[in-house]
Amino acid sequence: MPCTALTFCLRASTLHLPVSATCCLIAAESDSNRGPRENRSRPSIDALFRSASYAYGNQVIGVVLSGNLDDGSASVLAIKNRGGMAIAQDPDEALAPSMPASAIEAIALDFVLPAEQIGPKLVALAPIESTEEVRTISTGEGNMSGNMSATGQTYACPECGGVLEEAKEGGMLRFRCRVGHMYSPESLLADQTEAVEKALWAAIRSMEEQAEFSDRLADTSQQKKRPRLAHRFTEKALASRENATILRDLLQKTSDEVLEIPLEDGKSEYEERTGTD
């Protein structure tokens, strides 16, 4: 089947697969390189899938391939809600299984297949003629599903610092702030983790600078024959270095943390679902 790296303003067509190398948004009259990020990306796979479902309705087949975190799960649900179909790569063969595993856990997919079987399956499923009219969508339309209900829980948006509201969309948790930054749970946790790491590195830098400045003050006090004051500055320098070392050790222990959804042993959970054949 012909494939093309998806770029801005590319229209999808029957039996022509747009491969989202940069997760571009296929929304007519929409600028996909502007606006708030969704799941830490702009453009994002969720914006791509959701805009496709709004524009093409039941003609859309969403495919979730190898990738980290849980991107794509919520927007695949949008495709299914509008009569489209959803396929995920078998997590057992995926290099990064989190994305397909998240989709499998959250949504009743039509097929879970090895990567080599997905192309032929798309060819078999793609309609030759479509009875549904393609819908042109404008900027901002399709950015959020209309069936999100707030839970009342709020957090701080890692992107802008604003209020991040928790909501449920088809049984899935989503998070959105006032300006439009959106997250799924795994992506929000990843951004929070990154924000904490940045804050800790900033604290380490401040402590090490404080230790150097305290050493300088201690030297100055010694030169002025003020030993008690010099001793106090020296103790302050030692305390700052000890605190910086503690934070460095903490960051070192958590630096290899990988945000992945653990898979169960065995392949039965990810067997091909063939209910639509």
Q: How far apart are the first and last CA of the chain?
A: 20
Going by C-alpha positions, the residue among 147, 125, 138 that lies closest to residue 60 is 125
Residue 91 CA to residue 111 CA, distance in Å, equals: 12
Structural fold of domain 3-142+265-270: Rossmann fold (3.40.50)
Residue 80 CA to residue 78 CA, distance in Å, equals: 5
Residue 46 CA to residue 32 CA, distance in Å, equals: 12
Structure tokens, 124: 């078999």
Residue 75 CA to residue 102 CA, distance in Å, equals: 12
139-165 per-position pLDDT tens digit = 444 444 456 678 889 999 888 888 999
Q: Between these two residues, 51 and 246, which has the higher pLDDT value?
A: 246
Pairing of strands 172-177, 182-183: antiparallel
Residue type, 162: G
Judged by average pLDDT, the poorest of 2-11, 49-58, 67-76, 110-119 is: 2-11
Residue type, 128: I
Q: How confident is the model at residue 227 (pLDDT cuts 50, 70, 90)?
A: very high
Structure tokens, 244: 């910086």
CA 189, 91, 48, 85 dihedral sign is: negative
Q: Residue 13: beta bridge partners?
A: 16
Structural domain spans, the chain: 3-142+265-270, 148-184, 188-254
Q: Is the pLDDT confidence value at 232 over 50? A: yes
Q: Is the pLDDT confidence value at 241 over 90? A: yes
Residue 163 CA to residue 179 CA, distance in Å, equals: 9
Residue 165 CA to residue 61 CA, distance in Å, equals: 30
Question: What percentage of the chain carries pLDDT values higher than 90?
Answer: 24
Residue recorded with tokens 């998806």: 6
Mention every residue, 6+ apart, whose C-beta is less than 8 A from residue 222. 230
Going by C-alpha positions, the residue among 110, 103, 104, 105 that lies closest to residue 87 is 110
Residue 175 CA to residue 157 CA, distance in Å, equals: 9
Q: How confident is the model at residue 230 (pLDDT cuts 50, 70, 90)?
A: very high
Burial 8-24 (b: 16+ CB within 10 A, else e): eeeebeeeebbebeebb
